[in-house]
Amino acid sequence: MLQVSVLKEQTDRVLAGLAKKHYPTGPADVAAILDLDQRRRALQTTHDAAQAEANDLARQIGALMKSGDKAGAETLKIRTTELKQHTKTATDELTQVEIAIQQLLYKLPNLPHASVPEGRAAADNELVRAHGTKPDLYAGAQPHWELIKKYDIIDFELGIKITGAGFPVYKGQGARLQRALVNFFLDEARAAGYTEVQPPIVVNEASATATGQLPDKEGQMYHDAKDDLYLIPTAEVPVTNLYRDEIIPVEKLPIRNAAYTPCFRREAGSWGADVRGLNRLHQFDKVEIVQITQPENSYAALDGMVAHIESLLQKLGLPYRVLRLCGGDMGFTSALTYDLEVWSAAQGRWLEVSSASNFETYQANRLKCRYRADGGKTQLLHTLNGSALALPRIVAALLENNQTADGIELPEVLHSYCGFSKIG
């Protein structure tokens, strides 16, 4: 979340950034936070003055009792009782004001980086670069939702029977392809310097709040009300929370983690051709990369993460493009996001397979994730993450782009992982 000091000292920049993200109540919310902060400071002054006077009277009472002036001591005790009540009242009011400030800060999205383009929707995103050649398919080419039935590798009807729509069952070569991709992505992450971790796939409210899923995205997560736990929408949540309430020694920076997890998203209200088949699921597999680094290094780290994701797509032989998201299409917590999309030949459109984002101090402020350089004051770190990669649309593109009349030829890099080179 944003810091009150930033709102106070850089109000114009904050308002401009909120406007770029098309946050409608920015001026009103910022003004309300600053008013509450002024009230908080006044209450703190009142509280501290009453506490200081009470401490001084305590010393005087001790001296009077020692000298035998019990009457004088009793008079001062009356004033001490009044001061204790003033202190309690100020403390209670301070607590309420701080809660109100916190709730308003939770509503404010992160400020966009200066390089973020203006715009409201995906059509306004900026093309950074494209790579690869779109394949020409043979005359009988089919979209992946037909191919998976033809080769009996993924079964949506069984998933509906067991759970519901959006929970497919992977079978035979389909299941082996899933496992192969996970292992390939993890091996590549490890070779790139990421430490593999295996985190829980359910988190508590504090963890979901720390990374910005709450209170912004309650409706997108599956929630167990009895235990008040959430199924994760991405490994970003548990992996980043490994460093909640930590002061990280500077010599351990940057932290670079990779994790494979299933991911769960309710995706309420999703329907239509654009979400058919593997294009949108309630449960899917993903390898996530996370970095925590010093502020001055975070944008170089983001470029490195994007380059790593591109290397995966290149090794898979998938045509892709990199987009810089505009203000209106960015995530709530992000300062700068690059989307990577692969070309789906049978569908004739681009499919998003990864987002790589720098959150700057937004998550770190919620996490209280800090470092201390040269023995000085603690400072907030920058957090980043990216999908490297999400499987469903990668699988869709691999099936569609590599189909032939005799089966689906898999990229060579997967042959040893799968134990076969061809589906069908």
Annotated ligand binding at 416? The verdict is no
Annotated ligand binding at 176? The verdict is no
CB proximity list for 243: less than 8 A, separation 6 or greater: 255, 292, 367, 369
Task: Give the angle subtended at the CA of 169 by the CAs of 166 and 173, to the nearest 5°.
Answer: 130
Pairing of strands 255-264, 195-196: parallel
Q: Is the peptide bond before 389 cis (omega within 30 degrees of 0)?
A: yes
Give the number of other Cβ atoms within 10 Å of residue 241's Cβ: 23
Annotated ligand binding at 288? The verdict is yes
Q: CA-CA distance, 160 to 164, in Å (whole number)?
A: 4
DSSP string, 146-205: HHHHHTT-EEHHHHHHHT-TT--EE-THHHHHHHHHHHHHHHHHHHTTPEE----SEEEH
HSE-CB of 118 using CA atoms within 13 angstroms? 2
Query: Angle formed by the axes of helices 173-191 and 391-401, to 10°?
Result: 110
What would you measure as the largest C-alpha separation in the chain, in angstroms?
Answer: 107
Residues 138, 404: contact at Cβ < 8 Å? yes
Annotated ligand binding at 265? The verdict is yes
Q: CA-CA distance, 2 to 60, in Å (whole number)?
A: 45
Annotated ligand binding at 267? The verdict is yes
Annotated ligand binding at 353? The verdict is yes
Residues 334, 234: contact at Cβ < 8 Å? no
Amino acid, single-letter form, for residue 320: Y
Annotated ligand binding at 6? The verdict is no
* Residues in binding site for L-serine: 234, 265, 288, 385
* Residues in binding site: 234, 265-267, 288, 352-355, 385
* Residues in binding site for ATP: 265-267, 352-355
